[in-house]
């Protein structure tokens, strides 16, 4: 049985402000670093065999907190980056709503390709899902922690599980420094075993 623990990064100042990050490289803030330190012992207790992280610093530095406890190296994979939010990156969500009202309304309604140069969900799911599948194949039978981003985690999991957009919209977002657990059986395929697991003190934030 192969186990993936798909871990969202800790809080950033842009998370706190509801500013769209996307693939902008925003570092963890003090809260985010503390969240990573709180979550790391919980993940270490699950005895991971490998750690892989998005190359954006908020995910890489989150992974580093676990590496410090386990002694495992962190492998970087740029495919694990967050969804690219096109013209919205760097804007507050209130600014997005004011400047791109039609596209914003489509995004809120669940349109997988709302426009404004936002990466379509099908492309995001394929990018993240392909990376997760390859990581799992390389470490078949092991436990791998994958430090990534909220939207990326949702779509990547959906890709592996074969869930469409309508199903994924019914699943709550990952909180900062929480994770989703997937397991793969050679004959039965992928199964969701747990979702939004992590330190109980972590407040919810928008996964953008």
Structure tokens at 206: 């928008």
pLDDT of residue 173: 92
Which of 34, 82, 103, 181 is an active site residue?
82
Place of tokens 């994924």: 168
* DSSP summary character for residue 179: E
**Is there a catalytic annotation at residue 9?**
yes
Give how far Cα 181 sits from Cα of 101, 112, 130, 148, Å. 36, 24, 17, 13
Q: Which ranges of the chain have pLDDT less than 50? A: none
pLDDT of residue 208: 74
pLDDT of residue 73: 98
Q: Nearest-CA neighbor of 78 among 49, 117, 48, 52? A: 52
**Is there a catalytic annotation at residue 84?**
no
Buried-exposed string 138-174: b where 16+ CB fall within 10 A, e elsewhere: ebeebbbbbbbbbbbbbbbbbbbeebeeeebeeeebb
pLDDT of residue 206: 65
pTM to 2 decimal places? 0.95
Kindly report, residue by residue over 127-181, the tens digit of the pLDDT: 999 999 999 999 999 999 999 999 999 999 999 999 998 899 999 999 999 999 9
pLDDT of residue 156: 97
pLDDT of residue 202: 59
Which of 9, 149, 159, 178 is an active site residue?
9
């Amino acid at each position: 049985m192969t186990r993936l623990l798909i871990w969202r990064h800790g809080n950033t100042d842009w998370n706190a402000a509801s500013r769209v990050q996307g693939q902008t490289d925003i570092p963890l803030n003090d809260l985010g670093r503390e969240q990573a330190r709180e979550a790391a012992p919980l993940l270490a207790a699950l005895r991971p065999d490998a750690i892989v992280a998005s190359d954006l610093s908020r995910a890489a530095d989150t992974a580093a907190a676990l590496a410090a406890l386990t002694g495992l190296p962190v492998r970087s994979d740029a495919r694990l980056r967050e969804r690219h939010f096109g013209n919205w990156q760097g804007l507050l969500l209130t600014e997005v709503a004011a400047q791109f009202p039609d596209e914003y309304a489509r995004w809120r309604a669940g349109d997988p390709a709302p426009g404004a140069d936002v990466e379509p969900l099908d492309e995001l799911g394929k990018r993240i899902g392909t990376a997760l599948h390859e990581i799992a194949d390389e470490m078949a039978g092991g436990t791998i922690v994958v430090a990534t981003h909220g939207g990326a985690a949702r779509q990547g999991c959906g890709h592996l599980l074969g869930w469409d957009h309508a199903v994924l919209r019914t699943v709550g977002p990952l909180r900062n420094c929480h994770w989703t657990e997937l397991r793969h059986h050679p004959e039965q395929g992928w199964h969701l075993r747990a979702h939004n697991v992590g330190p109980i003190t972590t407040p919810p934030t928008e996964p953008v």
